Chains A and B, each alone.
Chain A
Amino acid sequence: MSVNVMERERTAIINPLKTCQPLGAMYVVTGIRRAVPLVHGSQGCSTFVRYSFSRHFREPSEIAVTSLHEDAAVFGGRRNLVEGLQNVATRLEPSLIGVITTCSSEIIGDDVIGFIKTAKDELKKKIGEKKTEKVKIIPISTPSFVETHLKGYDNAVKALVDHVAEPSEPNEKINIIPGMVNPGDIREIKHMLRLMNLEGILLTDISDPFDSPLRPSATEFKPYYPKGGTTVEEIVDSANSSGTISLTKYAGSGALSLEKKYNIPAELGPIPIGVKNTDQFLRNLKKITGQDVTDEILDERGLLIDSMADLASRYLFDKTVAIYGDPEITSGIARFVGELGMVPKLVVTGANNQEFVKDMKKVGKETGAEIDTMVGQDLRAMEVYLKDNPVDLMIGSSDARLMAKEYEIPLVRVGFPVYDRVGYHRHPIVGYNGGIHLIDLITNTVLEKYYEPEHWKLQQ
């Protein structure tokens, strides 16, 4: 019934469970139709993130960079940013450019807002006022030495609504800030909204940009953009929605900003993983929109409960689990495995966040489990822990695959990045359907290791 919080006693990070802010911002901008993330920094800052995205999503990832070099460190990055903005605007004709800062451009103190103004003035001379106004240029401040990629995600969503959203007529829509989830999750969220007869504005929607069809005809368009993504018009309209639900309480600044400026009610979290969290999400939807939960949704809920009843007590009850990754996702999964009668023995996150500790206390209370909670930690800490306290199952990214092998603990792959198996970005873990997918994944993994085939056959 208690939560034992374990903070890092080392200075060194060994096998990180987090990355830096710009990655989160690049993720957000990619979810906007015809938008281009422009990273104001070194080439590695964009190239390595593109590599990470490609490895996880198996999709191309278009991220431009201002290519800062030594002279910029001395004289500032003004020329690079102004020229870079012009090149992106004239060549790619985007609807929006997100200017994403990095550690170097933050430290050298570049006046990004001033540079954007200069670039716009130059652009007006080049391509005319009308065309220039068509390209929204949004500064997104993401110093890499502050917090984690989730903070970058948060800053980017906030920058978008702050610079783009404009109030006009109420639209009866609901804004959703999904957090750093997969295309499959976003599709599931949209599916739930449809079943509730609601129209949503996703801030932002990476489902198609990071999982787009191979259709040569589409690539003939010049310049090429993947289909889908949230339109700029939708972001403008987000100031007129009935409310905003951020599926992560760790990145809700955009929702709070809309609430403060335009009086749009905000709900922060939880991520709809598992039964109770999804129930809560639907209650939040109902609270904001007044829309009743439909029968179809209750059927989906029933299907999840049915599959839990089929499997939980037989194969999953009392199995101990180590969960690692981003705070929102790990807390959602901890709650869900608790609902299944499993024991979330260890939950590890790279973020250093007291909100997360509160979450774990809640889960501990509900499940009666004693949860060892690591905040601001890395995978090395988990390894040391598992050496003395083995668990039955691990749930998290591919980054702990070698550890799973060494300690012979089966691993259910969830979160970011997953690069040593395929399909994980396509299937949801959120919503009732995501719950069904997750319980299938978990149970099959458990069966593989803990029940020999013949034995299992007799028992089913």
Chain B
Amino acid sequence: MEPVIETFESRKKHMCVKGEGISIPVCDKASLPGTVTQRTCVFGGARIVLMPITDSIHLVHGPIGCAACTWDIRGSKSSREDLYKKGCSTDLQEKDIVFGGEKKLFETVLELYNIYKPGAIFVYATCVSGVIGDDIKAVCKKAEDLTRCKVIPVQSEGFQNHNKTKGHWIGGDALLDYVIGTKEPEETTPFDINIVGEFNVAGDLWGIKPLLEEMGVNIISAISGDSHADEIAQAHRAKLNIVQCQKSSNYVARKMEKKYGIPFIKVNFFGLEQTTNSLREIADFFGDQEMIQRTEKIIERGLKGVEDETREYRKRLEGKTVALYVGGNKAWSLVRAFEELGMNVMMSGTKNGIKEDYERIKEVVQDGTIIVDDANSTELARLLKKYRPNLLISGAKEKYISLKLSIPFCDFNHDRISAFAGFKGFVSFAKEVDASVSSPVFNLASKTLSKVSKTPSNLGGDENAS
């Protein structure tokens, strides 16, 4: 069998084609040293899960770089505070490395508390605090006793694991161990839920929340988009958890099921069919006839007009191919949404997939789809060059690799500026995808210089030139 692309021997099995016998790539292995991996560290994984908590201070206990390169990059919107956007660091120096950074951490926590009186202070461990052995837990405890403000240790030493998923779990553990269950709600209803794994990137939560509220569901907390620590503290009283980003947050939902007996269902608000199914499943779960009827009305109203509003986009996108190379959940949750636009997903891959993730991808993609694990930048460039999709969906680091190969790109990561979730989100999604795929720039970009000079009359629109 021909390899998917030319690469290191040990990397070949990290790529496969669905339908050709083996359908799941080798995964969850350490990246090859010396490659330009698209992966991040465990600290990064924990930080992105917790950072959307808006009323909290997120304090990075390490040298300045860990905080300086990651503050305010999440793209999570807030309807209230913007405390979560502050970049806070203990700025560990050489003397702290030698004598330990606990005292400095303690002072820093107190200073931040005194300035901001935040809802909570999350303290993130980094590689350095791990290697020098600072007891972050003890410092947090001491600071919490003194301030009566939640000071939460997040044991996210960067090098703990090759897979940032571990960081998501560590972030989840911080919530499970120190936040959830620490406050009782004033009132409860039979229809209390949490939205787990929804980070309100570009305001996605705000596309979903009104639909759910109209159904008659009471949202105790979103974990963790646009939320307050205080709200998450009451999450244990929910009757149901709905999980949007299953990559990062099944872990939290499972643990809450075990600890508090809260059942969970997996939802997906990207795409029409998925949104509709998710709303119905929630209504079915509660089994309340009025809610079921209301839900049908919401769906009917939601779908109405979407077809008209997306017709032009779908016309242009019909038959176009798309490659996904994303951070987990989206590798399968977006597939149907693209099919609804008339596009074919020809490749799906993730940076930190575990076996369960690839099972999900395999389930939803067509035969012949390339599935890749942890493609480094050279491999990604080769995949794009060899298979030339009409669109790449990924994040900021991959964006310019794609554009340099004159392959249209659409952001589905932190830097996204339009909300894509729910019915209205689907229209924005179609619009943005179309804006990328149909941009005339790429007709110019696909010309090589020799072709331009040989056929000067043929400067635009020739699809065959590449």
Contact = CB atoms under 8 A, between A and B. Distances in A.
A13 B107 CA distance: 12
Nearest to A102: B127
Contacts of B403: 214
A376 to B, nearest CB: 10
B120 interface: no
B459 to A, nearest CB: 15
A217 B406 contact: no
Contacts of A38: 34
A145 B65 CA distance: 9
A62 B404 CA distance: 13
A15 B448 contact: no
A145 B90 CA distance: 11
A148 B68 CA distance: 11
Interface in B68-94: 68-71, 73, 82, 85-94
Given A91-B8, A223-B378, A14 B396 contact: no
Interface in A104-139: 104, 107-108
B104 interface: yes
A55 B397 CA distance: 8
Interface in A354-404: 380, 402
A294 interface: no
Contacts of B436: none
A454 interface: no
Contacts of A47: 37-41, 44, 397
B400 A59 contact: yes
B303 interface: no
Looking at B44, B62, B91, the one whose CB has the most chain A CB atoms below 10 A away is B91
A328 to B, nearest CB: 18
B394 to A, nearest CB: 12
A107 B131 contact: yes
Given A14-B87, A47-B37, A69-B161, A216 B448 contact: yes
Contact of A402 (B31, B82, B378, B381): B82
A20 B90 CA distance: 13
Given A60-B400, A84-B33, A104-B159, A12 B108 contact: yes
Interface string A244-257: 00000000000000
Interface string A263-289: 000000000000000000000000000
A108 B162 CA distance: 18
A87 B131 contact: no
Contacts of B130: 73
Contacts of A173: none
B36 interface: yes
A48 B448 CA distance: 33
A81 interface: yes
A19 B87 contact: no
B97 interface: yes
A42 B396 contact: no
A69 B30 contact: yes
Interface string B375-401: 001100100010000000000110111
A18 interface: yes
A13 B89 contact: yes
Given A19-B64, A19-B65, A91 B88 contact: no
A131 B448 CA distance: 32
A397 B112 CA distance: 24
Given A103-B63, A216-B466, A14 B88 contact: yes
Contacts of A83: 32-34
B211 interface: no
Nearest to A152: B65
Contact of B92 (A16, A102, A145): A145
Interface in B32-58: 32-41, 43-44
A18 B64 contact: yes
Interface in B116-138: 127-128, 130-132
Interface in B215-266: none
B33 A67 contact: yes
A10 interface: yes
Contacts of B96: 145
Contacts of A72: 159
> In the complex, which range does the number of interface residues on chain B fall in?
35 or more
Contacts of B445: 214, 216
Contacts of B87: 13-16
A170 to B, nearest CB: 38
B35 A64 contact: yes
Nearest to B32: A87
A68 B160 CA distance: 9
Contacts of B38: 47
Interface in A139-156: 143-146, 148
Contact of A143 (B35, B94, B415): B94
B449 interface: yes
A65 interface: yes
Contacts of A145: 63, 92-94, 96-97, 128
A81 B32 CA distance: 11
A148 B64 CA distance: 8
A216 B446 contact: yes
Contacts of A51: 69, 73, 396-397
B406 A214 contact: yes
A50 B63 CA distance: 18
Nearest to A88: B34
Contact of B111 (A10, A55, A92): A10
B39 A43 contact: yes
A144 B94 CA distance: 9
A75 interface: no
Nearest to B96: A145
Given A10-B111, A54-B396, A66-B33, A104 B466 contact: no
A67 B104 CA distance: 29
Given A20-B68, A54-B397, A44 B43 contact: yes
A179 interface: no
A97 B79 CA distance: 47
Contacts of B31: 43, 65, 67
7 contacts: A16-B68, A20-B64, A44-B158, A48-B69, A65-B35, A83-B34, A144-B65
Given A16-B67, A44-B44, A87-B32, 4 more contacts: A65-B36, A67-B31, A104-B127, A215-B448
